[in-house]
Structure 1
Amino acid sequence: MTKPVFRFAPSPNGELHLGHAYSALVNWRMAQETGGRFLLRIEDIDVTRCTPAFEDGIYRDLAWLGLEWEKPARRQSDHFDDYREALEQLIDAELVYPAFMTRGEVRTRIAHDEAEGRSWPRDPDGAPRYPGDDKHLSLAERRGRIAEGAPFAWRLDMRRAMAHAGVAPRWDETGQGPRGETGIVTASPQDWGDVVIARREIPASYHLSVTVDDALQGITHVVRGRDLFYATAIHRLLQELLGLPVPSYHHHDLIVDDDRRKLSKSRGDTSLAALRTTGATPADIARMVGLG
């Protein structure tokens, strides 16, 4: 019987905080309880924000918590060829297109429609969906703009992708979504519109890289925060398009601050390293996140 495989996948663009500790401990404990494997993945495709110093801090924090993972950890920046191969499959199937609209052009387009009384659709995170005007460019126009050095991103043509998949993907949710979703969940990738799959300088976005990595690492159980519940729809669609295996998913509670906001690196929420310097112990951290 194949062992269950779990993973903790932080980005080294800041120090780990209590929310990360909770997710890492939940993954670790589930792996221990099922006799499974626990993997660490360093999600550093954003080479401008991710640093070796933060990566080293991840290793120190997890070791301090008493967690052990199979070595070496997978570093996404070492595997761009894997993502490029998946991207080429999507390009060959004509399921993605180069999107050239700048953020300013998108804002102008949306403002024009809203000024005329037309509401603009938004994705599950509340962001405006991409207009998709670029889909109407001819192949010659696309090639010409790329040859001229115009910046662009590869976006999933959601309508084509859904038609190619044939049916709405589903997944087995053993945790719970923001609205109490559990059990067999029917995905709604169309709610996201034409999401970014890769950029000109980086052959993957979060959606593509995490989907490819989970398949290549043989992940059987994706255990992560509830804030990523709806993004699972994109990952399930990509699995269908690329012929990848489907893990089960478990979305857990989020650790929030006194204002009920999710902890964030960008807001400078207290890091594990800072708590350690004040004398906190791994047992203290477990109690602080409700796992004591």
Structure 2
Amino acid sequence: QGLNQLAKSIDEHKTIIAEDHADNEYITKPISQGGAGFDAQWDLGCPYVLRDTLWSSNASEINLAGLLYLLNHRFNDRAFERIGFVDSHDSAANGMVRFSNAISPKDPESKFAKQRQLIAFGIITTAPLVPMLLQGQEFMEAGDFNDWRSLDWRKSDKHQGIVLAHQHLISLRKNTANVSSGLLGEHLNVSHIDDNNKVVAYHRWDNGGPGDDVVVVINCSNQSFESYEIGFPRNGLWRVRFNSTWAGYSDDFSDILVADVFVDNGRGCFNLPENCILILSQDS
């Protein structure tokens, strides 16, 4: 408490983050309420939930419960008191490996590993939390993390499409094109749970409306659907802002076209590729 009080007295605008294992709301409660006074804390369960959810594309082996918990969990009912991540220097070390290695041990740069990497980071950038990256994940760095071995920077050229996908997701999260301001808000509604086919959709918004409302669709299975129907928060045209199967992200991706969706009576149908994450919004 004393250290946080001192830090805020020097610069009240700085964000103070706790790398703490307690998963306790009092870490980020104000000091005036008996808390430690941190602004945010790591959600240490994130990388393990993502691994448990995405390690297989066989529907019978996928449990969506952890993903739903990850999306809805927050401290003190405030979304941005939580730091979420695919990997950290802890989850990728201490006898463990990076996400890509964990889900595809024989080939951490495989098509499956790349598909799952984009789904995982897509979840982190669209969930109501503060996203964090571990350097190297954007170009499929493999193995474990240590502080004496440098990254294989040649992979940033080899996997420049995966780097681009990370850039696109970050851009949507930051609302740089003014089409996804809802990702800057705290509101979340998990609007669609298809446990049989392992498809989840959720609505994110800040103030609501065109350019703000965002719909995220995740297909965790290895099955594609030519006409998949879900509910949308508003009628009209919804544009696909991100499609993780685009061949521009990787030459071995299927590059399945997902056309913009026209929603009528609150329902919309679209092509849903296997192992993918889609992000849609309306023009403002």
Q: Shared fold by TM > 0.5?
A: no
Name the structure where strand makes up a greater proportion of residues.
2
Name the structure where helix makes up a greater proportion of residues.
1
TM-score w.r.t. structure 2 length? 0.29
Q: Which has the higher contact order (CA 8 A, sep 6+)?
A: 1
TM-score w.r.t. structure 1 length? 0.28
